[in-house]
Structure 1
Amino acid sequence: MSRTALIAGASGLVGSRLLDLLLADDTWDAVLSVGRREVDRSDAKLEQRVVDLLTLSGLPAVDDAFSCLGTTIKIAGSQEAFRAVDHDAVLAVAAAARAAGATRFLHVTAIGASPDSRVFYNRVKGETERDVAASGIATTVAVRPSMIDGARPDAHRPGESIGLVAMRAAGPLLGRYRPNKATDIARALVREAKSDAVGHRVLDAGQIGRS
Protein backbone atom coordinates (compact mmCIF):
# COMPACT_ATOMS: atom_id res chain seq x y z
CA MET A 1 0.00 0.00 0.00
CA SER A 2 1.21 3.49 -0.81
CA ARG A 3 1.94 5.85 2.06
CA THR A 4 2.41 9.60 2.13
CA ALA A 5 4.45 11.43 4.75
CA LEU A 6 3.94 15.02 5.85
CA ILE A 7 6.88 16.87 7.37
CA ALA A 8 6.96 20.27 9.05
CA GLY A 9 10.34 21.75 9.93
CA ALA A 10 12.38 20.13 7.15
CA SER A 11 14.82 23.03 7.06
CA GLY A 12 16.07 22.43 10.60
CA LEU A 13 18.77 20.28 12.14
CA VAL A 14 16.65 17.16 12.69
CA GLY A 15 14.12 17.90 9.97
CA SER A 16 16.72 18.01 7.21
CA ARG A 17 18.03 14.58 8.22
CA LEU A 18 14.49 13.23 8.48
CA LEU A 19 13.62 14.48 5.02
CA ASP A 20 16.61 12.64 3.56
CA LEU A 21 15.52 9.41 5.26
CA LEU A 22 11.91 9.70 4.16
CA LEU A 23 12.89 10.30 0.55
CA ALA A 24 15.27 7.33 0.59
CA ASP A 25 12.80 4.92 2.22
CA ASP A 26 10.46 2.96 -0.05
CA THR A 27 7.89 2.85 2.75
CA TRP A 28 6.73 6.27 1.54
CA ASP A 29 5.77 6.92 -2.07
CA ALA A 30 5.35 10.66 -1.54
CA VAL A 31 6.61 13.26 0.91
CA LEU A 32 4.95 16.64 1.46
CA SER A 33 7.05 19.33 3.13
CA VAL A 34 5.26 22.37 4.57
CA GLY A 35 6.86 25.48 6.01
CA ARG A 36 7.58 29.17 5.68
CA ARG A 37 10.09 28.50 2.91
CA GLU A 38 11.13 25.74 0.58
CA VAL A 39 14.15 23.62 1.37
CA ASP A 40 17.01 23.30 -1.11
CA ARG A 41 16.10 19.80 -2.18
CA SER A 42 14.64 18.30 -5.33
CA ASP A 43 13.26 14.77 -5.60
CA ALA A 44 10.54 13.07 -7.61
CA LYS A 45 8.81 12.03 -4.36
CA LEU A 46 8.91 15.50 -2.83
CA GLU A 47 6.24 18.19 -2.95
CA GLN A 48 6.85 21.47 -1.14
CA ARG A 49 4.28 24.02 -0.01
CA VAL A 50 5.09 27.44 1.44
CA VAL A 51 2.40 28.04 4.05
CA ASP A 52 1.52 29.74 7.31
CA LEU A 53 1.65 26.77 9.66
CA LEU A 54 -0.70 28.40 12.16
CA THR A 55 -3.49 28.39 9.56
CA LEU A 56 -2.53 25.22 7.73
CA SER A 57 -5.42 23.47 5.98
CA GLY A 58 -6.47 21.81 2.74
CA LEU A 59 -3.76 19.16 2.68
CA PRO A 60 -3.89 16.15 0.37
CA ALA A 61 -4.35 12.73 1.97
CA VAL A 62 -1.46 11.80 4.27
CA ASP A 63 -0.73 8.74 6.40
CA ASP A 64 2.15 9.74 8.68
CA ALA A 65 2.90 13.27 9.90
CA PHE A 66 6.17 14.47 11.40
CA SER A 67 6.93 17.72 13.19
CA CYS A 68 10.49 18.87 13.76
CA LEU A 69 9.45 22.41 14.58
CA GLY A 70 11.34 24.19 17.31
CA THR A 71 13.05 27.42 18.23
CA THR A 72 14.50 29.14 21.29
CA ILE A 73 13.16 32.05 23.29
CA LYS A 74 16.23 34.06 22.28
CA ILE A 75 15.63 33.50 18.56
CA ALA A 76 11.85 33.87 18.83
CA GLY A 77 12.21 37.08 20.79
CA SER A 78 9.71 36.39 23.56
CA GLN A 79 8.00 33.60 25.45
CA GLU A 80 4.81 34.23 23.48
CA ALA A 81 6.62 33.94 20.13
CA PHE A 82 8.37 30.79 21.32
CA ARG A 83 5.06 29.22 22.31
CA ALA A 84 3.58 30.12 18.91
CA VAL A 85 6.18 27.91 17.24
CA ASP A 86 6.76 25.09 19.72
CA HIS A 87 3.14 24.65 20.74
CA ASP A 88 0.65 26.44 18.52
CA ALA A 89 2.26 25.60 15.16
CA VAL A 90 2.78 21.96 16.16
CA LEU A 91 -0.86 21.66 17.19
CA ALA A 92 -1.98 23.32 13.95
CA VAL A 93 0.04 20.81 11.92
CA ALA A 94 -1.46 17.96 13.93
CA ALA A 95 -4.99 19.25 13.32
CA ALA A 96 -4.37 19.65 9.59
CA ALA A 97 -2.78 16.19 9.42
CA ARG A 98 -5.75 14.63 11.20
CA ALA A 99 -8.14 16.32 8.77
CA ALA A 100 -6.06 14.87 5.93
CA GLY A 101 -6.40 11.35 7.32
CA ALA A 102 -3.13 10.91 9.22
CA THR A 103 -3.15 8.01 11.67
CA ARG A 104 0.32 8.71 13.11
CA PHE A 105 1.86 11.95 14.35
CA LEU A 106 5.48 12.00 15.50
CA HIS A 107 7.15 15.08 16.91
CA VAL A 108 10.36 16.21 18.58
CA THR A 109 10.03 17.71 22.05
CA ALA A 110 12.75 17.73 24.73
CA ILE A 111 14.05 15.88 27.73
CA GLY A 112 12.27 17.07 30.86
CA ALA A 113 9.06 17.96 29.02
CA SER A 114 6.16 18.22 31.47
CA PRO A 115 3.03 20.39 31.57
CA ASP A 116 3.64 20.74 35.32
CA SER A 117 7.24 21.92 35.03
CA ARG A 118 8.24 25.21 36.63
CA VAL A 119 10.63 25.76 33.73
CA PHE A 120 8.79 27.59 30.94
CA TYR A 121 10.58 25.76 28.11
CA ASN A 122 9.86 22.31 29.55
CA ARG A 123 6.30 23.28 30.43
CA VAL A 124 5.52 24.34 26.85
CA LYS A 125 7.04 21.12 25.50
CA GLY A 126 4.96 19.11 27.95
CA GLU A 127 1.78 20.97 27.05
CA THR A 128 2.51 20.27 23.40
CA GLU A 129 2.87 16.54 24.09
CA ARG A 130 -0.38 16.54 26.04
CA ASP A 131 -2.35 18.46 23.44
CA VAL A 132 -1.00 16.46 20.49
CA ALA A 133 -2.06 13.24 22.25
CA ALA A 134 -5.54 14.74 22.64
CA SER A 135 -5.75 15.88 19.01
CA GLY A 136 -7.71 12.85 17.85
CA ILE A 137 -4.90 11.14 15.95
CA ALA A 138 -4.82 7.45 16.85
CA THR A 139 -1.06 7.12 17.37
CA THR A 140 1.25 9.87 18.57
CA VAL A 141 4.92 9.64 19.48
CA ALA A 142 6.82 12.34 21.35
CA VAL A 143 10.59 12.00 20.97
CA ARG A 144 12.47 13.69 23.83
CA PRO A 145 16.14 14.25 22.99
CA SER A 146 18.73 15.79 25.25
CA MET A 147 20.82 18.53 23.62
CA ILE A 148 20.86 17.87 19.88
CA ASP A 149 24.28 17.21 18.38
CA GLY A 150 24.92 18.17 14.76
CA ALA A 151 25.90 20.96 12.39
CA ARG A 152 22.99 23.36 12.21
CA PRO A 153 21.89 24.97 8.94
CA ASP A 154 22.09 28.30 10.79
CA ALA A 155 24.71 29.61 13.17
CA HIS A 156 22.49 31.47 15.62
CA ARG A 157 23.03 29.32 18.70
CA PRO A 158 26.63 29.84 19.88
CA GLY A 159 25.67 28.95 23.44
CA GLU A 160 24.57 25.51 22.31
CA SER A 161 27.84 24.99 20.44
CA ILE A 162 29.84 25.72 23.57
CA GLY A 163 27.59 23.48 25.62
CA LEU A 164 27.92 20.63 23.12
CA VAL A 165 31.70 20.69 23.32
CA ALA A 166 31.52 20.27 27.09
CA MET A 167 28.79 17.63 26.93
CA ARG A 168 30.62 15.58 24.30
CA ALA A 169 33.67 15.47 26.55
CA ALA A 170 31.60 14.41 29.54
CA GLY A 171 29.31 12.13 27.51
CA PRO A 172 29.97 8.83 29.33
CA LEU A 173 29.21 10.51 32.67
CA LEU A 174 25.93 12.12 31.60
CA GLY A 175 23.82 9.00 31.17
CA ARG A 176 20.51 9.86 29.58
CA TYR A 177 21.53 13.53 29.42
CA ARG A 178 24.31 12.90 26.92
CA PRO A 179 23.71 14.69 23.58
CA ASN A 180 21.64 12.92 20.93
CA LYS A 181 22.86 13.04 17.35
CA ALA A 182 20.40 14.67 14.96
CA THR A 183 20.68 11.69 12.61
CA ASP A 184 19.83 9.29 15.44
CA ILE A 185 16.73 11.32 16.27
CA ALA A 186 15.62 11.28 12.64
CA ARG A 187 16.18 7.53 12.47
CA ALA A 188 14.15 7.06 15.64
CA LEU A 189 11.25 8.99 14.11
CA VAL A 190 11.31 6.78 11.03
CA ARG A 191 11.62 3.62 13.12
CA GLU A 192 8.65 4.59 15.28
CA ALA A 193 6.55 5.52 12.25
CA LYS A 194 7.13 2.05 10.80
CA SER A 195 6.31 0.32 14.09
CA ASP A 196 3.03 -1.54 14.54
CA ALA A 197 2.60 -0.05 18.02
CA VAL A 198 -0.50 2.09 18.47
CA GLY A 199 -1.60 4.65 21.02
CA HIS A 200 0.28 7.51 22.61
CA ARG A 201 3.86 7.05 23.75
CA VAL A 202 7.09 8.85 24.59
CA LEU A 203 10.60 7.98 23.44
CA ASP A 204 13.13 9.20 25.98
CA ALA A 205 16.63 10.41 25.15
CA GLY A 206 18.22 7.13 26.21
CA GLN A 207 16.01 5.17 23.82
CA ILE A 208 16.68 7.25 20.72
CA GLY A 209 19.80 5.44 19.55
CA ARG A 210 18.40 1.92 19.99
CA SER A 211 18.01 -0.19 16.88
Structure 2
Amino acid sequence: MKKIAVLSGTSGMIGMQLLHCLIQDNSYDMIISVGRRKLALKHEKLVQVEMDMAKIRSMDLETKLRESDIGGVYFPLIADLKNKSLEIHAFCSLGTTIKIAGSKEKFQEIDHDYVMNFAFWSNGLGANKFLYVSALGADPQSSTFYNKVKGEVEEDLKVIPFSYLGLFQPSLLLGSRKEFRLGEEIAKIVMKPLVWLKLLKKFRPIHDYQVAKAMVFHANQNKSAKVEVIPSKDMQDF
Protein backbone atom coordinates (compact mmCIF):
# COMPACT_ATOMS: atom_id res chain seq x y z
CA MET A 1 0.00 0.00 0.00
CA LYS A 2 1.28 3.46 -0.90
CA LYS A 3 1.93 5.86 1.94
CA ILE A 4 1.43 9.61 1.76
CA ALA A 5 1.80 12.50 4.19
CA VAL A 6 -0.49 15.48 4.49
CA LEU A 7 1.19 18.48 6.05
CA SER A 8 0.00 21.81 7.45
CA GLY A 9 2.15 24.65 8.72
CA THR A 10 4.72 23.90 6.04
CA SER A 11 6.08 27.44 5.82
CA GLY A 12 7.08 27.50 9.49
CA MET A 13 10.36 26.46 11.11
CA ILE A 14 9.40 22.88 11.90
CA GLY A 15 7.15 22.62 8.86
CA MET A 16 9.99 23.26 6.44
CA GLN A 17 12.21 20.75 8.23
CA LEU A 18 9.36 18.24 8.17
CA LEU A 19 8.92 18.71 4.46
CA HIS A 20 12.61 18.04 3.81
CA CYS A 21 12.55 14.94 6.03
CA LEU A 22 9.47 13.56 4.31
CA ILE A 23 10.90 14.18 0.85
CA GLN A 24 14.06 12.31 1.81
CA ASP A 25 12.13 9.44 3.41
CA ASN A 26 11.63 6.80 0.72
CA SER A 27 8.71 5.23 2.57
CA TYR A 28 6.51 8.19 1.61
CA ASP A 29 5.36 8.17 -1.99
CA MET A 30 3.89 11.67 -1.91
CA ILE A 31 3.53 14.70 0.35
CA ILE A 32 0.47 16.94 0.17
CA SER A 33 1.09 20.36 1.68
CA VAL A 34 -2.04 22.34 2.46
CA GLY A 35 -2.09 26.01 3.40
CA ARG A 36 -3.25 29.47 2.48
CA ARG A 37 -0.39 29.92 0.03
CA LYS A 38 2.00 27.80 -2.00
CA LEU A 39 5.74 27.64 -1.33
CA ALA A 40 8.38 28.55 -3.89
CA LEU A 41 9.50 24.94 -3.91
CA LYS A 42 8.98 22.12 -6.36
CA HIS A 43 9.64 18.41 -6.08
CA GLU A 44 8.21 15.36 -7.82
CA LYS A 45 6.84 14.05 -4.50
CA LEU A 46 5.32 17.36 -3.44
CA VAL A 47 1.75 18.43 -4.18
CA GLN A 48 0.74 21.88 -2.95
CA VAL A 49 -2.88 22.75 -2.36
CA GLU A 50 -4.10 26.20 -1.42
CA MET A 51 -6.78 25.94 1.24
CA ASP A 52 -8.35 28.38 3.66
CA MET A 53 -7.75 26.70 7.02
CA ALA A 54 -10.91 28.32 8.36
CA LYS A 55 -12.94 26.46 5.72
CA ILE A 56 -10.86 23.33 5.20
CA ARG A 57 -13.44 20.97 6.72
CA SER A 58 -15.69 21.54 3.72
CA MET A 59 -12.91 21.43 1.14
CA ASP A 60 -12.92 18.44 -1.23
CA LEU A 61 -9.32 17.43 -1.98
CA GLU A 62 -10.23 15.58 -5.17
CA THR A 63 -11.85 18.71 -6.59
CA LYS A 64 -8.87 20.86 -5.61
CA LEU A 65 -6.47 18.42 -7.25
CA ARG A 66 -8.49 18.30 -10.44
CA GLU A 67 -8.56 22.11 -10.61
CA SER A 68 -4.76 22.30 -10.65
CA ASP A 69 -4.04 19.08 -12.54
CA ILE A 70 -2.33 19.66 -15.86
CA GLY A 71 -2.06 16.63 -18.11
CA GLY A 72 -3.55 14.18 -15.62
CA VAL A 73 -0.47 14.07 -13.40
CA TYR A 74 -2.57 13.64 -10.25
CA PHE A 75 -4.91 11.03 -11.71
CA PRO A 76 -3.27 8.07 -9.87
CA LEU A 77 -3.38 9.98 -6.57
CA ILE A 78 -7.03 10.93 -7.10
CA ALA A 79 -7.88 7.29 -7.90
CA ASP A 80 -6.08 6.05 -4.77
CA LEU A 81 -7.85 8.61 -2.60
CA LYS A 82 -11.21 7.61 -4.06
CA ASN A 83 -10.49 3.90 -3.55
CA LYS A 84 -9.10 4.54 -0.04
CA SER A 85 -6.03 2.50 -0.95
CA LEU A 86 -3.53 4.76 0.82
CA GLU A 87 -1.93 4.86 4.24
CA ILE A 88 -2.14 8.51 5.25
CA HIS A 89 -0.15 10.25 7.98
CA ALA A 90 -1.04 13.82 8.95
CA PHE A 91 1.58 16.20 10.34
CA CYS A 92 0.57 19.51 11.90
CA SER A 93 2.99 22.26 12.87
CA LEU A 94 0.54 25.16 12.67
CA GLY A 95 1.17 27.90 15.17
CA THR A 96 1.80 31.59 15.75
CA THR A 97 2.28 34.09 18.58
CA ILE A 98 -0.16 36.57 20.09
CA LYS A 99 2.02 39.43 18.79
CA ILE A 100 1.88 38.17 15.22
CA ALA A 101 -1.77 37.13 15.45
CA GLY A 102 -2.71 40.54 16.82
CA SER A 103 -5.00 39.37 19.61
CA LYS A 104 -5.74 36.44 21.90
CA GLU A 105 -8.86 35.73 19.87
CA LYS A 106 -6.92 35.46 16.60
CA PHE A 107 -4.23 33.38 18.30
CA GLN A 108 -6.95 31.01 19.55
CA GLU A 109 -8.35 30.77 16.03
CA ILE A 110 -5.00 29.87 14.45
CA ASP A 111 -3.47 27.70 17.16
CA HIS A 112 -6.66 25.91 18.16
CA ASP A 113 -9.39 26.20 15.55
CA TYR A 114 -7.20 25.82 12.47
CA VAL A 115 -5.41 22.83 14.01
CA MET A 116 -8.71 21.15 14.82
CA ASN A 117 -10.06 21.93 11.35
CA PHE A 118 -7.02 20.27 9.79
CA ALA A 119 -7.31 17.30 12.13
CA PHE A 120 -11.00 16.68 11.34
CA TRP A 121 -10.34 17.15 7.63
CA SER A 122 -7.38 14.77 7.54
CA ASN A 123 -9.31 12.17 9.55
CA GLY A 124 -12.13 12.40 7.02
CA LEU A 125 -9.54 11.98 4.27
CA GLY A 126 -8.52 8.69 5.84
CA ALA A 127 -5.44 9.61 7.90
CA ASN A 128 -4.82 6.98 10.56
CA LYS A 129 -1.97 8.83 12.32
CA PHE A 130 -1.86 12.46 13.43
CA LEU A 131 1.35 14.07 14.67
CA TYR A 132 1.04 17.49 16.26
CA VAL A 133 3.63 20.04 17.40
CA SER A 134 2.46 21.23 20.80
CA ALA A 135 4.74 22.84 23.40
CA LEU A 136 6.55 22.11 26.63
CA GLY A 137 4.19 23.01 29.45
CA ALA A 138 0.99 22.46 27.46
CA ASP A 139 -1.82 22.23 30.00
CA PRO A 140 -5.51 23.14 29.59
CA GLN A 141 -5.49 24.35 33.22
CA SER A 142 -2.39 26.54 32.81
CA SER A 143 -2.53 30.18 33.86
CA THR A 144 -0.31 30.98 30.85
CA PHE A 145 -2.56 31.60 27.85
CA TYR A 146 -0.14 30.05 25.32
CA ASN A 147 0.25 26.82 27.30
CA LYS A 148 -3.47 26.71 28.04
CA VAL A 149 -4.40 26.83 24.35
CA LYS A 150 -1.83 24.17 23.48
CA GLY A 151 -3.19 21.98 26.25
CA GLU A 152 -6.76 22.46 25.04
CA VAL A 153 -5.74 21.41 21.54
CA GLU A 154 -4.10 18.25 22.90
CA GLU A 155 -7.27 17.32 24.79
CA ASP A 156 -9.57 18.09 21.86
CA LEU A 157 -7.47 16.06 19.43
CA LYS A 158 -7.96 12.96 21.60
CA VAL A 159 -11.65 12.94 20.64
CA ILE A 160 -10.89 12.36 16.95
CA PRO A 161 -10.61 8.61 16.22
CA PHE A 162 -7.05 8.39 14.90
CA SER A 163 -5.35 5.05 15.47
CA TYR A 164 -2.35 7.02 16.73
CA LEU A 165 -2.02 10.57 18.05
CA GLY A 166 1.51 11.84 18.68
CA LEU A 167 1.79 14.99 20.79
CA PHE A 168 5.26 16.53 20.49
CA GLN A 169 6.20 19.02 23.21
CA PRO A 170 9.43 20.85 22.27
CA SER A 171 11.05 23.43 24.49
CA LEU A 172 12.45 26.69 23.08
CA LEU A 173 13.08 26.18 19.37
CA LEU A 174 16.40 26.89 17.66
CA GLY A 175 16.27 27.61 13.94
CA SER A 176 15.73 30.33 11.37
CA ARG A 177 12.46 32.22 11.64
CA LYS A 178 11.13 34.65 9.05
CA GLU A 179 10.12 37.11 11.75
CA PHE A 180 12.25 38.52 14.58
CA ARG A 181 11.12 37.68 18.13
CA LEU A 182 13.10 39.68 20.70
CA GLY A 183 12.04 37.62 23.71
CA GLU A 184 12.95 34.37 21.99
CA GLU A 185 16.32 35.69 20.86
CA ILE A 186 17.19 36.76 24.41
CA ALA A 187 16.07 33.39 25.76
CA LYS A 188 18.21 31.59 23.18
CA ILE A 189 21.30 33.53 24.25
CA VAL A 190 20.63 32.81 27.93
CA MET A 191 19.85 29.12 27.42
CA LYS A 192 22.31 28.26 24.63
CA PRO A 193 24.96 27.09 27.16
CA LEU A 194 22.54 24.32 28.18
CA VAL A 195 22.84 22.96 24.63
CA TRP A 196 26.63 23.20 24.57
CA LEU A 197 27.01 21.62 28.00
CA LYS A 198 24.17 19.12 27.44
CA LEU A 199 22.52 20.14 30.70
CA LEU A 200 18.86 20.01 31.78
CA LYS A 201 17.76 17.91 28.84
CA LYS A 202 14.08 18.52 29.61
CA PHE A 203 14.34 22.30 29.33
CA ARG A 204 17.28 23.08 27.07
CA PRO A 205 16.53 24.53 23.60
CA ILE A 206 15.96 22.12 20.76
CA HIS A 207 16.65 22.48 17.03
CA ASP A 208 13.73 22.52 14.62
CA TYR A 209 15.20 19.63 12.63
CA GLN A 210 15.34 17.46 15.77
CA VAL A 211 11.60 17.87 16.25
CA ALA A 212 10.94 17.11 12.59
CA LYS A 213 13.09 13.99 12.61
CA ALA A 214 11.40 12.78 15.79
CA MET A 215 7.98 13.21 14.21
CA VAL A 216 8.84 11.25 11.08
CA PHE A 217 10.52 8.54 13.17
CA HIS A 218 7.46 8.04 15.38
CA ALA A 219 5.11 8.14 12.39
CA ASN A 220 6.96 5.17 10.90
CA GLN A 221 6.82 3.02 14.03
CA ASN A 222 4.19 0.42 14.83
CA LYS A 223 2.44 1.89 17.84
CA SER A 224 0.33 0.08 20.39
CA ALA A 225 -0.57 3.26 22.27
CA LYS A 226 -3.42 5.34 20.86
CA VAL A 227 -2.07 8.57 22.37
CA GLU A 228 1.59 9.30 23.05
CA VAL A 229 3.24 12.41 24.47
CA ILE A 230 6.82 12.89 23.26
CA PRO A 231 8.64 15.35 25.55
CA SER A 232 11.44 17.63 24.42
CA LYS A 233 14.09 15.57 26.22
CA ASP A 234 13.21 12.51 24.11
CA MET A 235 13.56 14.52 20.89
CA GLN A 236 17.02 15.78 21.83
CA ASP A 237 18.59 12.52 20.61
CA PHE A 238 17.55 13.06 16.98
Match of 2:84 in 1: none
Take 1:58 and 1:157, find their aligned partners in 2: how far apart are those partners?
Answer: 36
Displacement of 1:178 after TM fit?
Answer: 0.2
* Distance change in 2, residues 1:21/1:170 (3 Å): closer
What pairs up with 1:9-88 in 2 under 5 angstroms? 9-56=9-56, 57-59=59-61, 61=81, 63-88=88-113
2:193 aligned partner: 169
CA RMSD of aligned residues (A): 1.3
Give the equivalent residue in structure 1 for 2:117. 92
Matched, 1:208 2:208: no
When the two structures are superposed, what TM-score results if normalisation uses the length of structure 2? Answer: 0.85
Determine whether 1:120 maps to 2:145.
yes
Q: Name which of structure 1's ranges 174-183 and 97-106 shifts more when overlaid on structure 2.
A: 174-183
Q: Which residue of 2 aligns with 1:106?
A: 131
| 2:180 partner amino acid | H
Counterpart-to-counterpart distance in 1, 2:126 and 2:135: 27
Contact 2:201 2:236 in 1 (8 A): no
User: Counterpart amino acid of 1:201?
Assistant: E
Counterparts of 2:222 and 2:199 in 1: how far apart (Å)? 34
Is contact 1:113–1:125 with CA below 8 Å preserved after alignment? yes
Residue in 2 that maps onto 1:142: 167
Q: Quick one: which amino acid aligns to residue 52 of structure 2?
A: D
Task: Provide, for residues 143-191 of structure 1, a one-character-per-residue CA deviation record: whole Å limited to 9, x for no partner.
Answer: 0000001111x12313212211111024444331100110000000100
What letter corresponds to residue 111 of structure 1 in structure 2?
A: L
Check whether the contact 1:71–1:82 (CA below 8 A) recurs between aligned residues: yes
SS state at 1:129 partner: helix
Unaligned 5+ runs, structure 2: 63-80, 82-86
What SS does the aligned partner of 1:192 have?
helix
- Aligned-residue identity in percent: 37
CA distance in structure 1 between the partners assigned to 2:16 and 2:182 by the alignment: 20
Judge conservation of contact 1:58–1:96 (CA < 8 Å) in 2. Answer: no
Q: Which runs of 5+ in 1 are unaligned?
A: none
SS at match of 1:175: coil
TM-score (norm 1): 0.95
- CA distance in 1 between counterparts of 2:180 and 2:153 reads 24
1:32-86, Cα deviation, whole Å (9 max, x unpaired): 0011111121001111011111211323546100001010111111111111111
Aligned mates of 2:45, 2:204 — CA distance in 1: 35
- Equivalent of 2:184, from 160, 175, 190? 160
